């Protein structure tokens, strides 16, 4: 089983930066008690959120054709544990990218408040030739990306026809129901 800790990717600039969100809710099975009485996200899960965000930046940088592995995280500083109801903003910036991997740094915010910082995270990756893996990543990215158009700018994968999944239009606003009371 794989746990996905991102709800949405708001912004991405391949080989540069990614901004993702994670809403902490009561249904999250990893919450821990906190002295405030409000359940909190453990630091290890917050670090995993950053790792997945950076992994997705690496994946998008390489056209969805790599399998990424975290090899090191250092300099993680947590100012406070985030609580249920907070919308976390996970901002990862690529410091260096090369054929075998990448290194990044990151920050986590809740609104304008800095929750934590990450000094460096290093990844290695390998090229993937399995087209079913690439298709799964395309589907996952289309679901996560606030603007799936970024996928159309990635280099084509040999042997894989571009999959154009239409983005659903915003539903038209329905007229407000009129409430009538008996009088």
Identify whether 98 is a catalytic site residue: no
Residue 109 and residue 40 in contact, taking contact as beta carbons nearer than 8 Å:
no
Instruction: Tell me the three state secondary structure of residue 134.
Output: helix
DSSP state of 30: T
* Cα separations in angstroms, 48 against 2, 52, 169, 178, 183: 12, 6, 32, 47, 58
Terminal C-alpha separation, the chain? 58
Catalytic residue among 34, 62, 83, 98: 34
Active site residues: 34
């Amino acid at each position: 089983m794989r746990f996905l800790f991102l709800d949405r990717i708001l912004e991405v600039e391949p080989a540069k930066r990614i901004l993702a969100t994670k809403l902490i809710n009561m249904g999250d099975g990893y919450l821990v008690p906190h002295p405030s009485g409000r359940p909190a996200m453990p630091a290890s899960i917050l670090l995993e959120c950053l790792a997945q965000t950076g992994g997705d930046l690496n994946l998008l940088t390489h056209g969805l054709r790599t399998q990424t592995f975290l090899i090191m995280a250092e300099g993680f500083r947590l100012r406070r544990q985030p609580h249920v109801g907070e919308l976390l903003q996970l901002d990862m910036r690529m410091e260096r990218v090369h054929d075998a991997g990448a290194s990044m740094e990151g920050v986590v915010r809740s609104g304008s408040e800095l929750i934590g910082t990450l000094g460096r995270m290093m990844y290695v990756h390998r090229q993937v030739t399995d087209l079913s893996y690439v298709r799964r990543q395309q589907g996952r990215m289309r679901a996560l990306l606030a603007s799936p158009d970024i996928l159309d700018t990635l280099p084509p994968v040999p042997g894989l026809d571009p999959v154009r999944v239409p983005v659903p239009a915003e539903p038209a606003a329905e007229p407000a129901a009129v409430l009538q009371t008996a009088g």
